[in-house]
Structure 1
Amino acid sequence: MTVLRLGLALPQYGKLADPTAIAGFAAAAEELGYASLWVGDRVLTPLEPSDLYPGGGTPERPYPPEFIHFVDPIVALTAAAGATKTARLGMSTLSAPVYAPVLLARTLTSLDLLSGGRLDAGFGLGWLRDEYTAAGVPWAGRGGRLDELIEVLRTLWTADPAGHDGARWQIPESHVGLRPAQNPHPPILLGGMSERALRRVGASADGWLPTLLPAHYLRRMWAVIADAATAAGRDPATLRRPLRVNPREGTPVVTVTDLASALKGAADEGFTEAFVDLHYIADGVEHALELADQLRAAVDR
């Protein structure tokens, strides 16, 4: 069985949405042996949303009610960075196209420096058109917008002076004083399950951010990524795959025992990284830490 580096989602939303608890949670999780800490992204929760949550939304319950309370992901990672020493700090995922790339580059560079080079920049397209509308960003063409945003980030992270003249952004040649701690830059990990998204991962990203699904689905999607990587002259074996596990009522994974079994199964499938989001089963931050302690022990058995 593959050795699995195990992580946790930071207390960021729902009953766990307490910014003052993030630093203590992060330090305790690292002390328990968790190797990574993660955040997600939510801009707003409309009363009448344009789209249903793809993870089981219905007209009566269009998105999980936990999403109504959501701490800013960069603030959460910044708090965790100052309270930890070794844990990787990741995003699964930041809705990157709603952010201006020149400002995002500055923020992520600063966070990578603050953490001593522990940032994993995880990006996705999101699923809610209303968030794009609220941010003043067009929903159409969001995939191309993500591609260009990544191009801008890599330029600003590796060139000095640096500029950009593209379809969506024009950045004059400028001095770039801050350099990320990681060379050449923080790893760029991408979410997504459509064929286009998977091919984007294989062609240009440093890794994929999958969610726990039946093994045959994950294998099929990974094959698309591997084919795209090979076609681009890249070695698929170099791409990372931090697996997200969301225990919740109504799914096969709810209890600590379920979680430990699922994680061991992921290791058998060759995954080397995974993290668990306890927001749907924990009653509060202290309860989440209790569950994390139990899970760490169950996985190690």
Structure 2
Amino acid sequence: MVAVGMLLSDVPSTVPPAQQFDGVRRIVEAAQRVGMTYIAIGQHFLYGDLRWLQPVPLLARLAADCDRGTRLATQIMIAPLYHPVMLAEELATLDVVTEGRLVFGAGIGYRPEEFEYLGIPFKERAARTDEILELLVKLWTQDEVTHSGRFWQLDGVRPHLKPVQSPHPPIWVGAQSVAGARRAGRFGDAFPVTPEATYDEIEERFAAVREGFAARGKPFGPQPVRRNVQVAGSRDEALVEYARVSKGKYLSYASKGMTHAGDAETLDRDFLASVAQHAVVGSDAEVVAQLTDLCTRFPVDPLLLRPQWPSMSTEDTIAAIERLGREVVPAIRALPTPQPEPVPAGAA
């Protein structure tokens, strides 16, 4: 069975935070009701007209509402903005509170201003992330840690807090680039494919991850893949609705420096052509066919869907989730779980 999950969205900052939290709880309840077993949330700081609830305290609270089989994922946390000891203990606590259901998704970030706010050089973000990922595993798995790195030094410290999961929570190292896929191969357990990635890009990035895993003697297994989806009565209806609910967010991404789906001018001029290669839109049957092709062409598990955009109300989001629950979610869950590939002969 291929697991299906959902990505929670940011919302306009005009929505009161308490109302946002109430909406999240209702959305998560609906997602679980239709068979989604991963709940994932991203992260930003001082985000202006949009707001994220911070993932660690939010997921800790949601754990009480979620089924025991539902996993809770940070997708992604901006790792280089943290001191590794603080991050290790926050996440270990979250794994304890969620009773071993945490998935830690990490990324290097893409907004220079977030680094400026926190006094961390933007140009150091990749190197800091590499060192943090290395040190997190030490702090989670070793009784005594000595580390002498470029940014942090620890001398014989004794971690007092370990995660519930052994040896540690799964580490998903996310990125848009091939360089980020190589980082996942060196330090991670999986590479969560971004929603904008084409099939050719997925193939290229999986090859980089596979090479890194082989160098560690680690089998290449199923990988999390994200996709933006819109189901309607027909493809034309779905395209119109997708443009209505998501175009503003794409333009917001572009204005904040994430231009993988196109620059702001191109998106504004011809939105549907810009997103045609990655957005999954159409009737129930068309969306099932597209996602089934994705999940049979690549070793996908879980498949993370985005049914929510900042322009949508809680009620709109729940309706979109319920629509996915009619045919799309059951069809994907009926697919066989992909099996890990054997480690190549001679690998470390």
Please confirm whether the aligned pair reaches a TM-score higher than 0.5, indicating the same fold.
yes
Q: Select 2:110's aligned residue among 127, 151, 158.
A: 127
Q: 1:35 to 1:102 in 2, by over 3 A?
A: same
**Aligned AA for 2:137?**
R
Larger Rg: 2
Mind listing any 5+ residue stretches in structure 1 that lack a counterpart?
47-64
Matched, 1:19 2:21: yes
2:180 paired with 1:197: yes
- Structure 2 gaps, min length 5: 230-241, 244-271, 332-348
Most deviating of 79-88 and 20-29: 20-29
**1:262 corresponds to 2:264:** no
Partner in structure 2 of residue 243 of structure 1: 225
Change (3 A) 1:120 1:86: same
Q: Counterpart of 2:132? A: 149
C-alpha displacement of 1:33? 1.1
Secondary structure of 2:317's match?
helix
Residue 293 of structure 1 corresponds to: 322
SS in 2 for 1:127: coil
Q: How far did residue 13 of structure 1 move?
A: 3.0
Change (3 A) 1:6 1:165: same
What is the letter of the counterpart of residue 167 of structure 1? R
Instruction: Give CA-to-partner distance per residue, 1:201-222, whole Å, 9 cap, x none.
Output: 1222100011233222211221
Give me the TM-score of the superposition, normalised by structure 2.
0.73
When residues 87 and 256 of structure 1 are mapped into structure 2, their CA distance, relative to the original with a 3 A threshold, is farther
Matched residues in 2 for 1:127 and 1:30: separation?
31
Q: What residue identity is the alignment partner of 1:79? A: R
Residue 161 (structure 1) aligned with residue 160 (structure 2): no
| Contact kept in structure 1, 2:8 and 2:39, CA below 8 Å | yes
- 1:118 equivalent in structure 2: 101
Cα RMSD (Å):
2.3
Aligned residue runs from structure 1 range 1-301, under 5 A: 3-14=1-12, 18-45=20-47, 68-84=50-66, 85-212=68-195, 213-237=197-221, 240-247=222-229, 248-249=242-243, 250=272, 251-252=275-276, 253=279, 254=281, 257=284, 259-270=287-298, 271-280=300-309, 283-299=312-328, 300=330
Cα offset, 1:275, TM superposition: 1.0
CA deviation vs aligned residue, 1:238-290 (integer Å, no higher than 9, x gap): xx411111244233334564644432222122312111122328621222122
Structure 1 vs Structure 2: percent identity of aligned residues?
26
1:45, distance to aligned residue in structure 2 (A): 3.4
CA contact (8 A) 2:210 2:220 kept: yes
1:150-175 deviation digits (Å, cap 9, x = unpaired): 12211111122334332211234333
Kindly provide the CA deviation profile for residues 175-196 of structure 1, in whole angstroms up to 9, marking residues without a partner as x: 3222211001101111113232
- Greater shift, 250-259 or 116-125, is seen at 250-259
1:137 is paired with a residue whose SS is coil
